[in-house]
Amino acid sequence: NAGVTQTPKFQVLKTGQSMTLQCAQDMNHEYMSWYRQDPGMGLRLIHYSVGAGITDQGEVPNGYNVSRSTTEDFPLRLLSAAPSQTSVYFCASRGLAVSSYEQYFGPGTRLTVT
């Protein structure tokens, strides 16, 4: 299994540009989520999904859109990038069974908005 994969690894955007961060998992996990991590801070939840067609907002959703058309993929869209969105973005997945206690994280996408 590849686990959770994220692309790109690095990205530089100009203010106002749009882009999509890709996340995919091959573990058939129902639950997927996006976090951002600013320097010296813990992770903050942006959006999450409990299955295809179902998404919900996390702690810091403003400026980000998500959709979940398949179990495997959970892209994060920035419609109009702002410098405040400069951060490291992590995607994560896990099963929904009560016994699925471990959340698996991807390697991260490092985004700089100038």
Partner 1 sequence: DAKTTQPPSMDCAEGRAANLPCNHSTISGNEYVYWYRQIHSQGPQYIIHGLKNNETNEMASLIITEDRKSSTLILPHATLRDTAVYYCIVRVGGSNYKLTFGKGTLLTVNP
For position 2 contacting partner 1 by CB under 8 A, the verdict is no
Tell me which residue has tokens 């994280």. Answer: 105
Whole-angstrom distance, CA of residue 108 vs CA of residue 87: 10
Using alpha carbons, select from 56, 49, 43 the residue that is nearest to residue 23. Answer: 49
For position 43 contacting partner 1 by CB under 8 A, the verdict is yes
Using alpha carbons, select from 79, 108, 93, 76 the residue that is nearest to residue 30. Answer: 93
Question: Of these, 13, 23, 32, 35, which contacts partner 1 (CB under 8 A)?
Answer: 35
Question: Of these, 12, 79, 82, 96, which contacts partner 1 (CB under 8 A)?
Answer: 96
Nearer to partner 1, 12 or 96 (CB): 96
For position 50 contacting partner 1 by CB under 8 A, the verdict is yes
Nearer to partner 1, 2 or 41 (CB): 41
